[in-house]
Structure 1
Amino acid sequence: MFNSILYQVDGMVAQIILNKPDRLNALDKQTLLEINDAMNQAESNEDVRVIVISGSGRAFSSGFDLKAQMDARPSGEKIWREILDLDFDSTMRFWNSLKPTIAAVHGACMAGAFEIALACDITVASEDAIFGEPELKFGAGIVTMLLPWVTSPKRAKDIILTGQDRIDATTALNAGIISRVVAKDQHLTVALQIARGIALVDPVVVASTKKALNETYEIQGMQKALKNALDIDHAIESVGSPDKKAFMDIARERGMREAIAWRDARFAKAQV
């Protein structure tokens, strides 16, 4: 049924495993649709009480699939609205689910994948995990502006405006971006242990308590702010910035690795 993810249920815990290791589990349209299908299954299954998401291979995920975007060349307001709405809605499934969600992260966790990890109720990171929001460095916007809601405004602005993509697990923990740091390769083991513990609690109590916790943010207008930020990102992407055009042109001509090297060299020069 699934091609880009694995879905399995063990007792009261459902696992969603991003499963395109050759692409560092990049999040293309098919993967996002499958994530939504898996969430539908987990949420409709009364036996499932907790949902855990992880990645196979060397990383959790490199984020939204720029190569797929490069090949498809999306343009126009309608197309970009469809793309960004799917990105946003898929991320917020983890925040809005009545069932607790846990991200088990190792290796790269970038951009859209970082936002999924932020949307989960608990994030367990291996000590080798690396986080980041590099979008502005190649002329893109932020789809799901969750970062300022989970860390300080100063920290969020520093990360986003400078396009940081080398945030180690300890720094992320100190910033409140993740919940726990564990030994290398123990992220999923610990996440499942946490999930099984939560699953023992009355699910009505858990769902009600999660609702109460989320309501703290709703009172502050989080959902409205996120939708406004999504509209701003739509305005950025549907027009297309010169920086992103240059990045994508290099990626098409010389490959994504060369485009990333060009991007990094450009910013390294400015910091000499």
Structure 2
Amino acid sequence: MDLITPETTEYEHLLYEVDAEHVCWLTLNRPEKINAMNERLIAELRAGLLRADQDENVNVMVIRGAGRGFCSGHDLDEDTADDRSSIYDYRMKYIRQFEQFTTPWTVSKPVIASVHKYAIGKGFELSLFCDVTIVTSDTKMGYSEVRYALSGHCMFMPWLVNMKSAKDILLTGREVSAKEAKEMGLVTEVVAPEDLHEATRRKATLMARMPREMQRMHKMYLNRVYEMQGLKSATDFYLEQVAIMGAQPLPEYVELTKMTIEKGLRAALDHAQARYQGLD
């Protein structure tokens, strides 16, 4: 993969634009995959966010998805080519990707997730560590990948909901509706699908007109509150567990990967999901 830096202006899977209100719109642009996250897209999103954070003409960033949904999660097709021969190398891959993927949390300016239809797995996590999340009423969210023995990656979710809700989501792998996500505290606002762009634009414009350095100070402060309560230690611990499981995948995931190669991803997911039919 080519080196992608904040100075990068040519993207393969990302659209980057800044409007007159000093809002940077970052659009995940793999619509044929419902914006599934591969290594290239994660690196481009990080570069775009860092570029906007350094741009004096940008006060707020918005992440949204092109096409049928915000983000369908991790690109499972890319996994079939993974080299898992060294647990140490694989661990470093996870650590590097964690640093890239959590950039919305670490940049100094506010980041809004503008979510429609699907926010699953990595898409779900991406929406969680943005500062504000606006979703359409038909959005489904959650960690459905755990049903296929594929772990989450960042695990911010327990810091946003109570313990019972966190365990219900993670130990069942069920998807939650937009309404339920709002009640749990996973999202900021729920709007009609046709109102998403306008609701996002209004929120972003309001935030962009606030004093920039005041915004930066308060984002840093609020993030630090959660980090002092243990968020960083907890996510680091989870990352170590994920790295081990990634290098030594569970039998269910081995079967899923094998079937993906032989019969395609859709057939593999349908086969894996069959055991849960009728239980949600």
* 1:226 pairs with one of 215, 235, 244: 235
Task: Provide the identity percentage.
Answer: 29
Equivalent-residue separation in structure 1 for 2:222 and 2:82 (angstroms):
40
Contact kept in structure 2, 1:143 and 1:233, CA below 8 Å: yes
Cα gap change, 1:64 to 1:86, in 2 (>3 Å): farther
* 1:84 pairs with one of 71, 89, 94: 94
CA shift for structure 1 position 78:
3.7
Contact kept in structure 2, 1:24 and 1:57, CA below 8 Å: yes
Instruction: Give the TM-score normalised by the residue count of structure 2.
Output: 0.92
Q: Kindly provide the amino acid, as one letter, of the partner of residue 260 in structure 1.
A: L
Q: Kindly provide the amino acid, as one letter, of the partner of residue 195 in structure 1.
A: A
1:191-230 alignment runs, 5 A limit = 191-230=200-239
Gaps of 5+ in 1: none
Matching of residue 132 in structure 1 with residue 142 in structure 2 = yes
Corresponding residue number in structure 2 for 1:261 = 270
Q: Secondary structure at the match of 2:112?
A: strand
* 1:245 pairs with one of 254, 265, 269: 254
1:1-272 alignment runs, 5 A limit = 1-11=10-20, 12-70=22-80, 72-75=81-84, 76-164=86-174, 166-268=175-277, 271=279
Corresponding residue number in structure 1 for 2:4 = none
CA shift for structure 1 position 82:
4.0
Q: Secondary structure at the match of 2:255?
A: helix
CA shift for structure 1 position 114:
0.7
Contact kept in structure 1, 2:50 and 2:107, CA below 8 Å: no
Contact kept in structure 2, 1:77 and 1:238, CA below 8 Å: yes
Contact kept in structure 2, 1:125 and 1:178, CA below 8 Å: yes
Equivalent-residue separation in structure 1 for 2:45 and 2:27 (angstroms):
9
Corresponding residue number in structure 1 for 2:5 = none
CA shift for structure 1 position 91:
2.8
Equivalent-residue separation in structure 2 for 1:84 and 1:186 (angstroms):
37
Corresponding residue number in structure 1 for 2:3 = none
Equivalent-residue separation in structure 2 for 1:158 and 1:257 (angstroms):
26
Q: CA RMSD in A?
A: 1.5
Instruction: Give the TM-score normalised by the residue count of structure 1.
Output: 0.95
Contact kept in structure 2, 1:87 and 1:112, CA below 8 Å: no
Greater CA drift, 238-247 or 135-144: 135-144
CA shift for structure 1 position 74:
2.8
* Stretches of 4+ aligned residues off by more than 3 angstroms: none
Equivalent-residue separation in structure 2 for 1:175 and 1:232 (angstroms):
26
CA shift for structure 1 position 152:
1.0
CA shift for structure 1 position 79:
4.0
Number of residue pairs the alignment of both structures matches: 269
